[in-house]
Amino acid sequence: MDDTTRTIRNLLAEAGCDGWCHAQVIGDPGTGIGLRSSAPVVISSMYKVHLMVAACRSNQQGLLDFDRRIRVEPGRYAPGPTGFALFSDVVEVSLRDVVRSMITVSDNTSAGIVYELLPSGALEDTLSRLELTAARIFPHPGERSIPASAEPGATAAEDAAYVIAAFAADDAGTEFDPAYYSQSTTAEMCTVLDLIWTDTAADAAQCAFMRQLLAEQVWRHRVASGFSPRRFEVAGKTGTIDRVRAETSVVTPSGERPIALSIVTRAARAEPELPEVDRTIGRIARVLVDALRQRHDLHV
């Protein structure tokens, strides 16, 4: 066990959780480091990054018009604490801003609209063409079965599914929330961001738009908490369900190449707020970024 892995394990233990993580220099996947990077994990709301990519590719192909005016009807989709999911009344916005709300504030209503408007097979085609073989995205949770029990040593994905089955009364509405069902690996979540940052996920204009949305994310209490905003730029997407807290981000040190990282934690306690775990995600992010900066010359 190297010093980086040992430090990450200690941070997780001190915060009362276990976890999975991966980090790599953008454009150089061979630099990857992490902890259980290839294990399947529930990715919670980070599945919205895959939806964003599919939507932008469809827009590029002329199959989805981001200028289209969308009538947003709250209450039709998975409940949530942010964005249009909180609204009482019908509003009208562009599809472009629906995608923006889905990413910047993790709006479940917006995610439902985006998936509903995607051309048939667009999401599956995106995962296939970009070779995202670990991703299992279930915008309609009924597409997946729930295990009857969670065994000791279950993966985060299995654990999240079991929570729904065993504690439905305590998780009102979660059976309709795709965040509980979608999964990937932390290594492949970094691959998704690498594709966006290298203009490979779609054309240059679409990738620039995606980078802009990820940079506009309002939540700064996890990965961003580990870095000074004067010296580092952070763009990413958080995810939270029950005991699982996560974030996939790109951290760019001033004057250096960007680093993609993905961190998923599973706390021992199911609490609505676990600020120590949130801060630990920032600390782990800093450990990963510092390790890569020490091992490689990232100056540009």
Q: Does 155 map to a domain?
A: yes
Confidence of residue 157 (pLDDT cuts 50, 70, 90): low
Q: Does 175 map to a domain?
A: yes
CB contact set of 53 (below 8 Å; sequence gap of 6+): 126, 130, 192, 195, 196, 201, 202, 210
Query: What pLDDT does 192 receive?
Result: 99
Q: Is the pLDDT of residue 30 over 70?
A: yes
| Confidence (pTM) | 0.88
Q: Does 107 map to a domain?
A: no
Q: Is the pLDDT of residue 107 over 80?
A: yes
Query: What pLDDT does 1 receive?
Result: 67
Query: What pLDDT does 245 receive?
Result: 95
- Asked which of 81-85, 142-146, 151-155 is least confident by mean pLDDT, the reply is 142-146
Query: What pLDDT does 79 receive?
Result: 81
**200/28 Cα distance (integer angstroms):** 14
Which has more pLDDT, 155 or 254? 254
Q: Does 103 map to a domain?
A: no
Q: Does 230 map to a domain?
A: yes
Q: Does 88 map to a domain?
A: no
| Nearest partner of 66 among 77, 55, 51, judged by Cα | 55
CATH label of the domain that carries residue 245: 3.40.710.10
Query: What pLDDT does 169 receive?
Result: 35
Q: Above pLDDT 90, what percent of the chain?
A: 78
Q: Is the pLDDT of residue 133 over 50?
A: yes
**Could you read off the pLDDT of 210-267 as tens digits, one per residue?**
999 999 999 999 999 999 999 999 999 999 988 899 999 999 999 999 999 999 999 9
**Could you read off the pLDDT of 55-102 as tens digits, one per residue?**
999 999 999 999 999 999 988 888 888 999 999 999 999 999 999 999
Three-state SS string across 261-297, please? Answer: EEEEEEECCCCCCCHHHHHHHHHHHHHHHHHHHHHCC
Q: Is the pLDDT of residue 136 over 60?
A: yes
Query: What pLDDT does 235 receive?
Result: 99
The DSSP code for 105 is S
206: containing domain: 3-45+136-295
Q: Is the pLDDT of residue 49 over 60?
A: yes
Left, alpha or beta for 82 (phi > 0: left; psi -120 to 50: alpha)? Answer: beta
What are the two backbone dihedrals, phi and then psi, of residue 104, each rounded to the nearest 5 degrees?
-70, -35
Overall domain count for the chain: 1
Q: Does 129 map to a domain?
A: no
Q: Is the pLDDT of residue 181 over 70?
A: yes
Q: Does 120 map to a domain?
A: no
